[in-house]
Amino acid sequence: MYRVCHEVPKPMSAVDPSIPRAFDAIVAKALEKLPVNRYASASDFQRALRGVCEPLQPKPSFFSIRRLLGVSRR
C-alpha cells in the first residue's frame, strides 16, 4: 500500500517498448497522486486516449474498400 501512495509507477513503455510513449504521459496523468492533477472527467481521459489511439489504427487501403463494397475488376 505504501508504494501505491508514495511511489511513481514505471512508464508502460519501459516495461513494453512496443507501447507508444504518448501513452506514458496519459497514464501518468491518470495516476497522479493529487486529484487536482488528474483528468477532470472520464470524457477528458477518453479524449486523450483517442488522440493517441486513432493515429495507430490502420487506414483502409483502396483494395480493401473495393473488396468491402463488392466491386470486382473488369
Tell me whether residue 26 is in a domain: yes
Residue 20 CB partners (closer than 8 Å, separation 6+): 13, 52, 56
Tell me whether residue 74 is in a domain: no
Tell me whether residue 62 is in a domain: yes
Task: Residue 38: give the domain boundaries.
Answer: 2-69
Looking at residue 14, its pLDDT comes to 86
Please report which residue ranges of the chain form alpha helices under DSSP H: 2-6, 12-15, 21-30, 42-53, 62-69
**CA–CA gap between residue 7 and residue 11 (Å, rounded):** 12
Count of domains in the chain?
A: 1
**CA–CA gap between residue 49 and residue 27 (Å, rounded):** 9
| pLDDT by residue, tens only, the chain of 74 residues | 788 778 888 888 888 888 888 889 999 999 998 999 999 999 999 989 888 877 665 665 655 655 666 666 65
**pTM exceeds cut of 0.75:** no
